[in-house]
Structure 1
Amino acid sequence: MTYVDKFSLRGKTAIVTGGAGILGSHFCKGLADAGANVAIVDMNIENATIVAREIEQNYDVIASSVYCDLTSEQSVKKMVEAVVAKFGSIDILHNNAAGKSSNLNDFFAPFEEYELDQWKEIMSTNLDSMFLVAKHVGKVMKQQCTGGAIIQTASIYGVMGPDNRIYDGSYYLERQINTPAIYSASKGGVVALTKYLATYWAKDGIRVNTITPGGVESGQNEMFKQNYGNRVPLGRMAQAEEMVGALIYLASDASSYVTGQNILIDGGLSAW
């Protein structure tokens, strides 16, 4: 085996939660390009099916869309069982999904006026779901006795506080935005959960790591992109496809001695 061969995922099966999303679809295609069969898990089953179809048309792998409400343990169990029934095993989990609030006015409310119900809703979607999926996939990986790789998606605001100056005049999908405290708290919890699971499952050969994206272009207005880029050493926001390389590395044998780590893909934002 050459050094480059260690990046191959040929013959492995990967689950990607939130696989139909802006980042998720790129993650699914990247894993497929590296040779993995992919289960695209999402509540938006129509979009997940489109991603699965595109993968099977463009890569020599098997792809399948699977519905799951990640806040429901029964739904998560059913999803994992469906993936095992379809593919026979699970080698890679990309615990990637994060949810949107049911009420964006409540989501972007000032901290002093933040509602507890809104806090609990986002914590359930962003962190409780990570726990549920890791729990049930990790159980399968332990039973297989062949190890595995779990990668969890956090956010730059899970490791540092936001610079609120970048939000002056900044809009996303025609709405004034900010970064709520619950977003930071839930994403910080993802990093902590990764470190815990990395030590807990190390004896079983299951590696657990985090990737932490910085700001990715996805519909922000020009003012926000300019403000954000001015805070980044590389001078710009990221493109979605720039997140994929780290995922392939952490999912593959190229990172066989890497666990409990958090790779920041942030253009250098956290360096100053």
Structure 2
Amino acid sequence: MTYFDKFSIKGKTAIVTGGGGILGRNFCCGLAEAGARVAVVDINLVGAQQVVDEIQSQIQGEAKAFYCDLTSEQSVKEMVEAVVEDFGMIDILHNNAAGKSSDLNAFFAPFEEYDLDQWKEIMSTNLDSMFLVAKYVGQVMKEQGTGGSIIQTSSIYGVMAPDNRIYEGSFYLDRQINTPAIYSASKAGVVGLTRYLATYWAKDGIRVNTITPGGVESGQNDTFKQNYGNRIPLGRMARAEEMVGALIYLASDASSYVTGQNILIDGGLSAW
């Protein structure tokens, strides 16, 4: 096997949660291009199917859409069982899904006025869901006895605090935005869960790592892009496709001795 061959995941089965999202779509296509069969998991089944159609038509890859409400343990259990029934096994999990809120006014509220129910909703979506999916996929990987790779998506604001000055005059999809504390706390929890599971499952040959994206262009106004870019050594926000290389690395045998790590894809923000 050559060094380049180690990056191949041909014939392996990968689950991507939040597969219909802005980042998820790129992650699914990247895994498919590297040879994996991809289970595109999303609560929006229509969006997941669109990604499957793209993989099948443009990459000639193998993929299938699966519905899952990641805040429901029963739904997660049924999704994992369905993937195993369709694909036979699970080699790679990209625990990627996250959400904001059903009430954006509550989500962006000042910390001193933050509602506990809103806090619990986001924690359930961003962290409890990671626990549930890792729990059921980890069981499958252990039973298979062939190891596996689990990659979880955090955020730069799970590692460092946001610079609130960048939000002055900043809008996303036509509304004033900020980064609430619950987002930082839930994403920091993802990193902690990764480190725990990396040591817990090491004896089973299951590697667990985190990728941490910096700010990705996805509809922010020019003021925000400029303010954010001024905080980045590379001088700009990320593009969604720039997250994919790290995922392929961590999913493949190229990273066979890497576990418990957090790869920051942030344009150098955390170095400043």
Q: TM-score, normalised by structure 2?
A: 0.99
Q: Give the gaps of 5 or more residues in structure 1.
A: none
User: What's the counterpart of residue 133 of structure 2?
Assistant: 133
Gaps of 5+ in 2: none
1:230 corresponds to: 230
> 2:243 is paired with a residue of what secondary structure?
helix
Give the whole-Å Cα distance in 1 for the aligned partners of 2:171 and 2:118.
21
Deviation at 1:99, TM superposition (A): 1.3
Question: What amino acid maps onto 1:3 in structure 2?
Answer: Y
Aligned length: 272
Match of 2:83 in 1: 83
Structure 2 CA distance, aligned partners of 1:138 and 1:77?
Answer: 12
1:202 corresponds to 2:202: yes
Alignment of 1:146-225 (within 5 A): 146-225=146-225
Question: What is the distance in 1 between the residues matched to 2:177 and 2:61?
Answer: 40
Per mean C-alpha deviation after superposition, the further-off stretch among 125-134 and 57-66 is 57-66
Give the aligned CA root-mean-square deviation in angstroms. 0.5
Partner in structure 2 of residue 271 of structure 1: 271
Instruction: Give the superposition deviation at 1:47.
Output: 1.0
Does structure 1 residue 11 correspond to structure 2 residue 11? yes
SS in 1 for 2:249: helix
Letter in 1 for 2:51: V
Question: Is residue 170–residue 176 contact of structure 1 (8 Å, CA) maintained in 2?
Answer: yes
Partner deviation per Cα, 1:90-145 (whole Å, 9 max, x = no partner): 00000000012010000000000000000000000000000000000000000000
**C-alpha contact 1:35 1:60 (8 A) present in aligned 2:** no
The one-letter code sitting in structure 1 at the alignment partner of 2:219 is G
Q: Which runs of 4+ in 1 moved over 4 A?
A: none
1:20/1:51 contact within 8 Å kept: yes
Amino acid at match of 1:192: G
User: 1:170-220 CA deviation, whole Å, 9 max, x = no partner?
Assistant: 000011000000000000000000000000000000000000000000000
1:158–1:186: 8 Å Cα contact kept in structure 2? yes
SS of match in other structure, 1:66: strand
Deviations 1:221-267 (A, max 9, x none): 00000000000000000000000000000000000000000000000
Q: Distance in 2 between matches of 1:220 and 1:194?
A: 30
Asked if structure 2 preserves the Cα contact closer than 8 Å seen for 1:13 and 1:91, the reply is: yes
Aligned-residue offset at 1:161: 0.4
Answer yes or no: is the 8 Å Cα contact 1:45–1:67 preserved in 2. Answer: yes
**TM-score, scaled to structure 1:** 0.99
Correspondence 1:10-49 to 2 at 5 A: 10-49=10-49
SS in structure 1 at match of 2:70: coil
The aligned counterpart of 2:58 is 58
Matched, 1:67 2:71: no
| Counterpart position of 2:245 | 245
Counterparts of 2:196 and 2:202 in 1: how far apart (Å)? 10
